[in-house]
Amino acid sequence: MNFRKPTIPLYIIASLLFGLKTYIVYRFMFNVELDNTMQEFILFINPFVSAFLMFALAVWFNKPSRQMKFIRYTGFIATFVVFANLVFYRQFTDFITIPQLFMGSNMSDLGSSIMTLIKPFDVLLFADTVIIWILSKRKVETLSVSYLKRGKVFALAVSMLLLAGNFFLAEMERPQLFTRGFDREYLVKNIGLFNYHIYDIVQHSKAETQRVFADGNELNEIEEFIEENVKNDEKSEMFGAAEGKNVIWIHAESLQSFVINNEVNGEEVTPFVNSLIKDEDTYYFDNFYEQTGQGNTSDSEFLIENSMYPLSRGAVFFTHGGNEYHALSEIIGNDGYTSAVLHANNGSFWNRFQMYNSLGIDHFYDERAYEINEENSIGWGLKDKPFFEQSIKYLQSLEEPYFAKLITLTNHFPFELDEEDKSIEPYDSNSNTLNNYFPTVRYMDEAIEDFFAQLKASGLYEDSIIVIMGDHIGISANHNKAMSMYLNKEEITPYDQVQLQRVPLLIHLPGDGDGETISNVSAQIDIKPTMLSLLGVEVENDIYFGNDLFAENRKDYIALRNGDFVSDDYVSTAGICYDRETGEPLEENIDKVPETTDTDETNACSTINEKVQMELQYSDDLIYGDLLRFYDFD
C-alpha cells in the first residue's frame, strides 16, 4: 500500500521564513530598545503572527496556481515594505507613515543620500522570497492545499487568535499602547511592522475626516488651555529692541549643539560661532531644543512661523500646505515687513511653493535664482559659501524692513565635501556619517563668518539683526556607538539622546552691548512670540504654544514632537523621568495620569506629561481640522 508523504503547505513555509527574516531585521537592524524578557518575546512572536495572517489568506484560493501566485507576490511586496522601512530607518531612526508616501516628489532630489543608505547585504532580505518563488513554481501540487470551507475558516480563526494573543501581551506590557500612536517604535516592537502600517492607514483616514466635520467649536477648549498654561501677556525688557530693523535669519542645516565650543582632532569645530557667542551683541541660548518630526527642515520652518507643532506623521508642508495660518511672516507683513526665503534647492521640495503662499511669504529665491555648476555644488546643491555670496544682491534688492530667511545646504546628510573645502580632518570612528559631519560643520561655520563680513561690506549689517538657528539634528540614534566615543561616554542613554536634540540659537543685535548666554529651557516653538516681541509688534488675537524667550514668566517645560519633554527640573523620555541636572532616573511611571495637582517629585513628571500630551493633541487638532479658518484674528 502506498502512502503520500506528508508535506508542509507553502503558506506555512512562507510564514516561517518571512517571520524569521523579519525578526532578524527587528532585532539586529532596527535600533529597538528592549527592557525585559517579555518585550523580547513579543518582538520575537509578532513577525510570525503578521506573516501567518498574510500568507494564510492563500487558502481561500481554490485553484493551486492562484494560491501559489498569491503567496509569491505577497512575499515580494511584504519584503519590499520591510526593505523600504529599513532604508528609511537608517537615516531617520523612524518608520514610514502614509503621509510620507505622498511626498514622493522629494525622492528625485535625494540622489546620493539614498544610495548611501542601501547596503550590499540588503539583497539577502529577498533570499526567502526567491526560495518561495521557486517552490511556488515547481511544487504547485505538493505545497498547495485544498480546504473545505470549515478548514478555511479555521485557518482564519487561528490567524485572528494569534493576533489577539499578540495584542493582549502587548497591552499587558504597554497599557494604552494605541493611545501612543506618535511613538512608532512602541507600535512596531509590540504589534509588528505590518500591523503598525494598518494602524497608520486607519489613523490617516481618521485625520483626513477631521477637516470635513470641523466647525470651529473646538477652538474654545484650545483657547482655554492656552490661556491657563501658555499665554503670558507681560512684555519682556527686550520688547521693541529690534524695532524697524531687518531680520536676517540663517537656517543652519543639521547643526547640533554638541559641536559648539567643542573640538575634533584638537581643532575647534565652530570657531566663528564660538567667537560670536562671546560677542557682547549676541544672546545665545544653550538649552534650546529642536522639535521637528518627519518633515525635518520644513518642520522647523513651520515651528518658527506658527508656534505650533509639526505633525507626528508626515510633513505638514505636504499634508496641509493649503490650510489657513496666521504665520510670523504674514503678521509682520501687515506691519510693513517684506518677507523672503532664499534656498538654492528645488523650489518644489517640501511643497514650498504652496506652503510659502499659505504663510504669507512675499518672495522665494530657489535654485533658479542662483548660478550653480559642478565646481560650486556638492551633495544637495550649491555650497554654502557661494550661496551666501550670491544671496547678498537679493538682500540688497529687498524693500526694507525685511525678514529674510537663508537656508543652507552643505551640512546635510550624507555630509559630502570636496577635499579642497576641508579645513579639519574627519573624526575617526565606526560611523562615516559622524566622521564626515565635523568637516561640513566647519565649512558652514566658515561660510557664516564670510557672510558676516559680506553683510558689513555691503552696509546691511548695522541695520539688521542676525539670527542663527540649527534646524534639526544631523546625527541620528543609529550612530550612538560612535557618538558615545566622541563624547567620552560609556553609552548614549535615553536621557543623553534628548540632550542631543539641543540645537544652537544665536540672536545677534549689532550695537546692543548686553548680550549673554541664557540657559533657560526653550525650543523652536518659542521663536514666533520672541521675534514679534523683538520687533515691537503687538498681536491681540492669536493662537500659539510658545513664549517670548526673554520673558520672565514662561511655562516651565517644552514638548518634543514624539511626546517626550524637558522641564526646568526634569527630562521625560522612553517612559522614564530623569533629573535634568544629574541625568539620574527617578522612580516614576510618567504615563500614569496624576490624581492630584501636587508638583512634588513623586508626580511632577506625570503632571507635566498630561499637559504635554494635551498640547500636542490641540496643535494636531488645529492642523487636521484647519481650525484657524474659523478664528477671528482682527
Spatial CA neighbour of 286 closest among 505, 466, 487: 505
Grid coordinates given for 500: 542631543
Distance of CA 215 to the CA centre of its chain: 30
Instruction: Taking each helix axis as running N to C, give the angle between helix 384-397 and helix 432-458, from 0 to 180 degrees, rounded to the nearest 10.
Output: 30
Grid coordinates given for 296: 525635518
User: Does the active-site annotation cover 297?
Assistant: yes
Give the SS3 label for residue 400: coil
Q: Which of 22, 129, 297, 433 is catalytic?
A: 297
Give the SS3 label for residue 165: helix
In the chain, what is the straight-line distance between the N-terminal and C-terminal CA atoms, in Å? 93
What is the spatial distance between Cα 599 and Cα 608, in angstroms, rounded to a whole number?
9
The number of residues in the chain equals: 634
Strands 338-342 and 402-407: parallel
- Where does residue 113 rank: exposed (0-12), middle (13-18), buried (19+ CB within 10 A)? middle
Grid look-up 535669519 returns: 249
310 contacts 330 by C-beta, under 8 angstroms: no
Give the SS3 label for residue 305: helix
What is the spatial distance between Cα 268 and Cα 424, in angstroms, rounded to a whole number?
9
Cis previous bond, 401, omega within 30: yes
Enclosing H/E stretch for 615: helix 604-624
Integer-rounded Cα radius of gyration of the chain: 27
What is the spatial distance between Cα 274 and Cα 256, in angstroms, rounded to a whole number?
13
- Where does residue 522 rank: exposed (0-12), middle (13-18), buried (19+ CB within 10 A)? buried
Distance of CA 431 to the CA centre of its chain: 21
Spatial CA neighbour of 560 closest among 299, 271, 237: 299
What is the spatial distance between Cα 400 and Cα 343, in angstroms, rounded to a whole number?
20
74 contacts 83 by C-beta, under 8 angstroms: no
How many Cβ atoms from other residues are within 10 Å of residue 262's Cβ? 14
Checking 298-302 for CB contacts under 8 A at 24+ apart, the result is 298/350, 298/351, 298/352, 298/355, 299/472, 299/561, 300/251, 300/469, 300/471, 300/472, 300/524, 301/251, 301/405, 301/471
Close Cβ partners of 267 (under 8 Å, ≥ 6 residues apart):
423, 424, 425, 442
Grid look-up 524637558 returns: 566
56 contacts 156 by C-beta, under 8 angstroms: yes
Enclosing H/E stretch for 389: helix 384-397
Spatial CA neighbour of 164 closest among 46, 19, 317: 46
Checking 116-124 for CB contacts under 8 A at 24+ apart, the result is 116/413, 116/414, 117/87, 117/90, 117/91, 118/87, 122/83, 122/86, 122/87
- Which residues are the active-site residues? 297
